[in-house]
Structure 1
Amino acid sequence: MQGGVMAAVEVILLCVAVSVWKPQRVNGEVCAAETLSHSDAGFCHGRLEVIYPELEISSCSVIPRGQHLRDKISREWGPPRVRLAGAETAKKYALMMVDPDAPSRCSPTRSHWRHWLVVDIVGSDLKKGDIKGLVLSDYRHPTPPQGTGLHRYQFMLFEQPADKTLSLSQEEKSSLGNWDPQAFIQRFGLGKPLASLQFLTQNAKDE
């Protein structure tokens, strides 16, 4: 109960926070500024790397406005390379990508939107950034709706138990929104993420 209260307080504080660095507003409320909050910056750990054609992300960050990067990441570029230099060659890993801010951070009624889910990733491939595992949910571009401010896109990597076969239930397959990643994690005993990374971006037309 206490954890739920704290999470609600964090959302409220985020929505009323004011930044001197061009705050993003949704229906008059400030939902996120173009700088990382302490909690957003603290999400990343484990030295995970996400690599797009013109963009390498190795720490929590906001996608820059310049060079049409926000437009390219939303429409042009396909699945990124994901690399963990310290992956163990013989082990298998599971990777998920979610948007906890669907349709907006101030009103996340469709959280968590599942953007990508790959399991059975062999460590030797992960070390090279070559994701060849079993795709349970196809990659979906980060496409924040216009006027909804910055969205977080979170990548979480788990060491996969050797005796588990990971899959989505029929109910989970029926919808990308309102997915419960924690229930999936608990169902297969994945534990805490071995590494995690997130970037923030918004609809390119809002720039």
Structure 2
Amino acid sequence: MATSVDPLIVGRVIGDVVDMFVPSVNMSVYFGTKHVTNGCDIKPSIALDPPRVTLTGNMDNLYTLVMTDPDAPSPSEPSHREWIHWIVTDIPGGTNPHRGKEILPYVGPRPPVGIHRYILVLFQQKGPLGLVEQPPSRASFNTRYFARQLNLGLPVATVYFNSQKEPASRRRT
């Protein structure tokens, strides 16, 4: 299992967003037919809609999914670290986020400059969370603080992809 966290260390996901953890749930993420693997490139245009996410895990367990960008607005000056893109709680194991409670609606990647990391972090809940308030702002979110507030512990799965601004199409008129 240790090899599954290596790309997270190299990509500074462990450190910038989460602490070292041992993955215990398999999480598959797809944008259309594109399978998200750690460090792969995803164009913003194919990530307009929420990804298709499937989890392993027991149906009796509940999970929280967070998608965040630690590189906002710029990887060299991430003054908005982290920009939160999506929060879903109470996801039954063995299913997908559409079966959970969307706390913060999905917003796709919109990197203004540079290559941004978009990180999907999965936590196992101790039980149903009930009412979870939306963050007051998408900017300056903190995944570790959020997990502490909800008593989620360390992540059970994480995957990240890179995205950068696409060039505007050049049309001749």
Question: Could you say which TM-score interval applies, normalised by the shorter chain?
Answer: 0.7 to 0.9
Query: How far does residue 202 in structure 1 lie from its aligned partner after superposition?
Result: 0.5
Of 159, 165, 169, the residue aligned with 1:203 is 165
Structure 1 residue 140 and structure 2 residue 118: aligned? no
2:28 to 45, 49, 55: 49
**Equivalent residue, structure 1, for 2:171:** none
What amino acid maps onto 1:91 in structure 2?
N
Task: Tell me the residue number matched to 2:88.
Answer: 118
> 1:72 and 2:50 equivalent?
no
TM-score normalised by structure 1 residue count? 0.67
Which is bigger in relative contact order (C-alpha 8 A, separation at least 6)?
Answer: 2
> Does the CA contact (< 8 Å) of 2:32 and 2:46 recur in 1?
no
Give the Cα separation in 1 of the matches to 2:142 and 2:76: 19
Is residue 2:90 matched to residue 1:90?
no
Q: Secondary structure at the match of 1:110?
A: coil
> Which of 142, 146, 157 is matched with 1:184 structurally?
146
- Cα deviation for residue 41 of structure 1 reads 7.6
Letter aligned with residue 60 of structure 1: N
1:42 Cα deviation from its structure 2 partner: 7.2
Cα separation, 2, equivalents of 1:41 and 1:201: 15
Residues 37 and 87 from structure 1, CA distance in 2 versus in 1: closer, same or farther, beyond 3 angstroms? closer
- Report the Cα distance in structure 2 between the residues aligned to 1:191 and 1:124, rounded to whole angstroms: 20
Structure 1: gaps (5+ residues): 1-35, 64-68
8 Å CA contact 1:101–1:151 kept in 2: the answer is yes
- In 1, the alpha carbon distance for the partners of 2:153 and 2:114 equals 31
1:144-173 Cα deviation digits (max 9, x unpaired):
01xx2100000000111116435126xx2x
CA distance, structure 2, for counterparts of residue 163 and residue 123 of structure 1: 12
- Give deviations 1:31-86, integer Å, cap 9, x for gaps: xxxxx7952187595542111113111x31231xxxxx614235xx41111112x3
Indicate the residue corresponding to 1:28 in structure 2: none
Provide the rounded CA distance (Å) in 2 between the counterparts of 1:138 and 1:89. Answer: 24
For these two proteins, the number of residue pairs brought into alignment is: 154
Deviation at 1:176, TM superposition (A): 0.5
Post-superposition CA distance 1:124-160 (Å, at most 9, x none): 323xxx5321111000011101xx2100000000111
User: Deviation of residue 90 (structure 1)?
Assistant: 1.4
| Structure with greater helix share of residues | 1
How much identity, in percent, do the aligned residues show? 29
Structure 1 pair 176–42 and aligned structure 2 pair: CA distance change class (3 A): closer
Distance in structure 2 (CA, Å) of the matches to 1:182 and 1:125: 24
Query: What do you get for the CA RMSD once the two structures are aligned?
Result: 2.4
Give the counterpart of 1:159 among 124, 136, 142.
Answer: 124
